[in-house]
Chain A
Amino acid sequence: MHVPDGFFNASVSIAAGAFAAAGLAVCLRGARRELDDRTAPMAGLVAAFIFAVQMLNFPVAAGTSGHLLGGTLAAVLVGPYTAVLCVAVVLLVQGFFFADGGLTALGVNITLMAIVTAAVGWTVFRLIVRSAPRSRAAVSVAAFIGAAVSVPVAAMGFTVLFWLGGTAPIDVSSVAIAMGGVHVLIGLGEGLITALTVSSVLAVRPDLVYGARGLKTRLLLRTADGRSTEVIDEPAPAPARSLRPILIGGALVAVLLAGVVSFYASSSPDGLEKVAGDKGLNANEQSHVLGDSPLADYGVKGVGNERLAVGLAGVAGVGITVLAGGAIFYTVRRRTRDREKVSA
């Protein structure tokens, strides 16, 4: 997604630059509240981590690969404001040191990949965590969904900017479909990496996960002569509520959105869409051919009406997201239960 120089016209570049600068200013203020003297080192580590993991291209579907954007992961680990700073630093370093992403496109890149992903990912994450029972599983599932949602939203942000001031003469709806379709899949990978990273950090060092601070338990210190002291006073956990209604509700909304939006987005299908999607717009995710995958062309095979087909593909994408999320949720929950049994 790293946009190079010359991709957007000057007004969009400048406007995005101003927006990014304002966003960074807000985050610099906010970051001070999130972490103590560990802010800079911890954020630097997360930034380096995101940079490194962006080199791990993961396979999405046959022949397709994507890489982590990292906004949600950073938000869950160090808090949303610091996360924006982390990803922005990654982009600045990539732009100035590695020539990856244009310097005049930094505003666009920071807006989409730092601000949008962190804001969307964190909002979704918080909404789920707040209404779910306090458990490590809930945190991981929330991280998965937050990350999975943040990527297609950022892709849509790209489409909007492209519509406003892209320099390439391509139909906006094809951009929307190509970006949206591929990024729903990339979002799955992003979600999986985010959730697994968060859950493995939670298992070893729960104190490092900003988004799970509510999970801290009271520490009981015993001394050699048998006295004990309590160290941290956490408020009593909120009464647990079932996660099911939220999951089902969220899934329905997502399916509806994906189906309806894709249905209308594909209003002017032409035979070149596939090339647009495959060869170009997801450029940094390496060119690929979806080949025989059931979602090839972002339309479902054997369905005559193209609009309907693309809509179905969107629904299928969300379905996969939900299934994968559910699978992780149950695995993690079962594992937590097993561990509780062992320690009981």
Chain B
Amino acid sequence: MGAGHTHQLYRPGDTVVHRLPPQCKLPAVAAFAVVVVATPRDAFWAFGVYVLLLAAVAAVAKVPARFVLRRMVIEVPFVVFAVALPIIGLGERVEVLGLSLSAEGLWAAWNILAKATLGVVASILLAATTEPRKMLLGAQRLRLPALLVQIAMFMLRYMDVILDEMRRMRVARESRGFVARDVRHLPVIAKSAGALFIRSYERGERVHLAMLSRGYTGSMPVIDDLGASARSWATAALLPAAALATAVLSWSVS
């Protein structure tokens, strides 16, 4: 982690997926996640279809598998949890490879792993094909409250500032031989946080003053208005629609 974090998310490109207006992509991904979560856990084939759907999107968007896999590290804590489930779960036990595991735990582990992974991959694809700033413009078009959009906008603007400060402070700390190891080091981390806040605040304040000086009154002027045609909406709806069809089928089958 560290600086540059925000820039690794987006993979510039010029594909159908990249060109889709963000206000179409955001709800499409959210709807996909909802459909996935609503799918019964024993409909294995449905999850297979979802994987294929996401793979198709990735292929169209030319996002390499390696990129997606690397970003999936974010999921690791819950993988650890899911692996523990069959061991610590309650209920009827089954014998798998000589281990006594909870059947219910195995089901739960599969359920969480499958759904969380699909959700994570969908979000990764969204972020990989949409510039953060465009994403916010899309949110604005979707009538997300203006204040929330602006907080997010400033957050992105200040993130680089803060991560930069943070890296400089870490270098300063570590070049004097400090590594956080146990609880006695907590005050050092905490003091760093305080100093970090003030340093970034003062930087952020100057940026804000510069904006105020140029007539900023609390809302970003929309210069390039990105309209969405019915066709874009239809294209974006392909993913959740296909997923929904799969889910409906899985409900009726089981």
User: Any chain A CB within 8 A of the CB of B81?
Assistant: yes
Q: Tell me if B148 and A199 are in contact (CB < 8 A).
A: no
Q: Using a CB-CB cutoff of 8 Å, which residues 52-69 of chain A contact chain B?
A: 52-53, 55-56, 58-62, 68
List the B residue with the shortest CB-CB distance to A44. Answer: B154
Q: Using a CB-CB cutoff of 8 Å, which residues 93-140 of chain A contact chain B?
A: 93, 95-100, 102-104
Q: Mark B89-123, 1 if CB is under 8 A from A, else 0.
A: 11100000000001011001101111110111111
Q: Tell me if B201 and A51 are in contact (CB < 8 A).
A: no
User: Any chain A CB within 8 A of the CB of B65?
Assistant: no
A192 to B29, CA, bound (A): 38
Partner of A170, one of B78, B90, B132: B90
Residues in chain B near residue A164, CB distance under 8 A: none
User: Any chain B CB within 8 A of the CB of A197?
Assistant: yes
Known: A85-B147, A275-B84. A192 touches B190 (CB 8 A): yes
Q: Tell me if B88 and A97 are in contact (CB < 8 A).
A: no
Q: Tell me if B80 and A279 are in contact (CB < 8 A).
A: yes
Residues in chain A near residue B90, CB distance under 8 A: 169-171
User: Any chain A CB within 8 A of the CB of B244?
Assistant: no
Q: For the complex formed, measure the closest distance between the CB of B38 and the CB atoms of chain A, giving whole angstroms.
A: 6
User: Any chain A CB within 8 A of the CB of B30?
Assistant: yes
Report the count of interface residues on A (CB-CB < 8 A).
76
Q: Tell me if A6 and B119 are in contact (CB < 8 A).
A: yes
Known: A43-B151, A196-B187, A200-B194. A38 touches B208 (CB 8 A): yes
Residues in chain A near residue B19, CB distance under 8 A: none
User: Which among B34, B84, B163 has the greatest number of chain A C-beta atoms within 10 A?
Assistant: B84
Residues in chain A near residue B80, CB distance under 8 A: 279-280, 283, 287
Known: A169-B89, A196-B187. A49 touches B151 (CB 8 A): no
List the B residue with the shortest CB-CB distance to A202. Answer: B194
Residues in chain B near residue A43, CB distance under 8 A: 147, 151, 154
List the A residue with the shortest CB-CB distance to B73. Answer: A99
Q: Mark A188-207, 1 if CB is under 8 A from B, else 0.
A: 01001101111111001100
Q: Tell me if B196 and A49 are in contact (CB < 8 A).
A: yes
Q: Using a CB-CB cutoff of 8 Å, which residues 137-186 of chain B contact chain A?
A: 145, 147-148, 150-159, 161-163, 166, 180-183, 185-186
Give 29 CB contacts A-B under 8 Å: A5-B116, A5-B120, A13-B37, A43-B151, A43-B154, A47-B155, A49-B200, A58-B190, A59-B181, A59-B183, A61-B183, A99-B72, A99-B127, A102-B33, A102-B119, A102-B120, A103-B34, A103-B119, A167-B112, A192-B190, A193-B193, A197-B194, A200-B191, A201-B194, A201-B201, A204-B198, A208-B201, A279-B81, A283-B77
Given A47-B152, A205-B198, 16 other A-B residues pairs in contact with their CB atoms under 8 A: A39-B218, A45-B204, A47-B151, A48-B204, A52-B159, A52-B163, A52-B166, A88-B148, A97-B123, A98-B74, A98-B127, A99-B75, A100-B74, A103-B34, A192-B186, A201-B198
- CB within 8 Å of A: which residues of B? 1, 6, 9, 26, 29-30, 33-34, 36-38, 71-72, 74-75, 77-78, 80-81, 83-85, 87-91, 102, 104-105, 108-109, 111-116, 118-124, 126-127, 132, 135, 145, 147-148, 150-159, 161-163, 166, 180-183, 185-187, 189-198, 200-201, 204-205, 207-208, 211-212, 217-218
Complex A-B, nearest 9 residue pairs according to Cβ-Cβ distance, in ascending order? A44-B154, A6-B115, A200-B194, A5-B119, A4-B116, A99-B123, A283-B77, A40-B150, A280-B81
